[in-house]
């Protein structure tokens, strides 16, 4: 199918809607369609193989290089959708849903509706992205506003914090 350019037969298209979560394990061919905004959490890698490029060309009419052989070598097949088990914990006015935990990282959705209890960070750092609403991050006697589209990192030195407001966050950390 690759050699014949039968991409419609080979690749699966998935309709998406706001708020969807997809875990895409390493070795899975994937792409993001036009008009879709995503937040991607991933294990750092210096390698991306391009297996298909929608026949796009640059200003001079040149197509970008493809990496067919390398892609085939690292692709996991046959494809199997990963089994996800969400772990949900409610504390006061906050709901913490672990969406994915794998070898290198964890991804969670935090739904804050009011004020969270003090959160003790058990990880070396925490990366958070506000995906909806407004709120505040409180660290000691300092308060920082949070709005949709804001991102922050809590480094190792910050052990405790709380969140207030009406907001949803996607939170990632190493395992």
- Assess whether 50 carries a catalytic annotation: yes
Task: Look up the pTM and report it.
Answer: 0.86
Q: What is the pLDDT of residue 59?
A: 95
Q: pLDDT tens across 97-147, in order?
A: 999 998 889 999 999 999 888 999 989 999 999 999 999 999 999 999 999
Residue 167 has pLDDT above 80, yes or no: yes
Of 86, 98, 143, 142, the C-alpha closest to 122 is 98
**pLDDT tens per residue across span 8-39:** 888 888 999 988 999 998 888 888 888 999 99
Give the active site residue among 50, 64, 101, 113: 50
Q: How far apart are CA 116 and CA 137, in angstroms?
A: 10
Whole-angstrom Cα Rg for the chain: 20
Are the beta carbons of 169 and 112 closer than 8 angstroms?
yes
Structural domains for the chain: 1-82 (no CATH), 87-174 (2.60.120.10)
């Amino acid at each position: 199918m690759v050699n014949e350019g039968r991409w419609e037969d080979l690749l699966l298209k998935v309709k998406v809607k706001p708020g969807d979560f997809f875990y895409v394990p390493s070795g899975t061919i994937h792409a993001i369609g036009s008009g879709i905004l995503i937040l991607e959490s991933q294990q750092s890698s210096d390698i991306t193989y391009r297996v298909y490029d929608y026949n796009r060309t640059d200003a001079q009419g040149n197509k970008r290089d493809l990496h067919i052989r390398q892609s085939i070598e690292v692709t996991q097949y046959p494809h199997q959708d990963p089994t996800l088990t969400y772990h949900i914990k409610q504390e006061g006015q906050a709901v913490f849903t672990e969406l994915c935990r794998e070898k290198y990282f964890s991804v969670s959705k935090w739904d804050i509706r009011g004020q969270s209890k003090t959160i003790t960070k058990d990880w070396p750092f925490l990366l958070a992205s506000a995906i909806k609403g407004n709120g505040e991050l409180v660290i000691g006697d300092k308060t920082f506003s949070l709005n949709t589209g804001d991102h922050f990192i809590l480094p190792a030195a910050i052990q405790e914090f709380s969140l207030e407001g009406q907001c949803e966050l996607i939170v990632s950390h190493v395992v």
